[in-house]
Amino acid sequence: MASLEAWAEAAETLFAPGCEAQSFVLLSSFAAPLMAFFPERGAVVSVWGGRKAGKSTALAAAASVWGRTPEEMVPVSLDYSIPAIWQNMAHRDPSVARRIFGAFLTNAGAHTILISATFGPLLSSLYGPEDQLPGIEFELKVPKSLIRPKDGNRIQAQMLSHRGAPAPVYSEYLARDNVQIWARRMLVSRYAAALETTGGGLRWHYAMRAIAAVDVAAIVVTELKILAFDPERIVRWALGQIGAKEKAA
């Protein structure tokens, strides 16, 4: 039987300092249903890294929230009330990957988050400096002093063994009318705050929406005591990544 406590014990290791990208991927899974409260379509959260960077563990964490494995969450067979996952995007021709992202963002029902993992930067290779990005991209790193490669296998296995444990608590809370009203207001507020913090323009529109949804999801997840972490730390980190890219542009 799936245990929320056992799932959370493994999931909280992904919130260690240095694992902010993994934290963001996991929170993106919780954030996916909130995208339906935006009038526009969804957003892409793309992560990249070399071997043993934590890609498989991050995707397993995201899928485990909803009682699935990453293989069961491809967009073509998915209920768009939960996130979509493309774990083999790294092996696709860049033009194919761009078409997949474009089709996802124009799909009338795709008010969710598409999580992608690759061996190298994907969005920056597909889109030029003048293009509007379909989402946000982070490099995955694992602090070796905290999480050894074999630990990643254990963490992944534990979350998948108890997959689906957080979903009922989280979904039932989001279904409340008063919570949905609050969430809509918070999403607008956090989106505006993200834009102001980073100075990002139209290029970062989808990225800011993803960050706003993660921000609100983090508040809910901690208030429901599904996970224990500092929600503001992850959002500050993500905004800092965007800010750094803006300065480098």
Which residues, 6 or more positions from 44, have their beta carbon under 8 angstroms from its beta carbon? Answer: 101, 104, 105, 113, 114, 115, 116, 123, 134, 135, 136, 206, 210
Q: How confident is the model at residue 111 (pLDDT cuts 50, 70, 90)?
A: confident
Alpha helices by DSSP H, listed for the chain, are 4-11, 20-31, 55-64, 94-106, 123-126, 149-161, 167-174, 177-198, 205-223, 231-248
Between these two residues, 147 and 48, which has the higher pLDDT value? 48
CB neighbours of residue 85 within 10 Å: 28
Between these two residues, 24 and 200, which has the higher pLDDT value? 24
Q: Residue 240 is part of which domain span?
A: 4-248
Total count of domains within the chain: 1
> Residue 77 pLDDT more than 80?
no
Determine contact, residues 164/61, Cβ cutoff 8 Å. no
Q: How confident is the model at residue 124 (pLDDT cuts 50, 70, 90)?
A: confident
Element of type H or E holding 48: strand 43-48
Residue 142: per-residue pLDDT = 80
Q: Which single residue is written with the structure tokens 């969710």?
A: 112
Its pTM stands at: 0.92
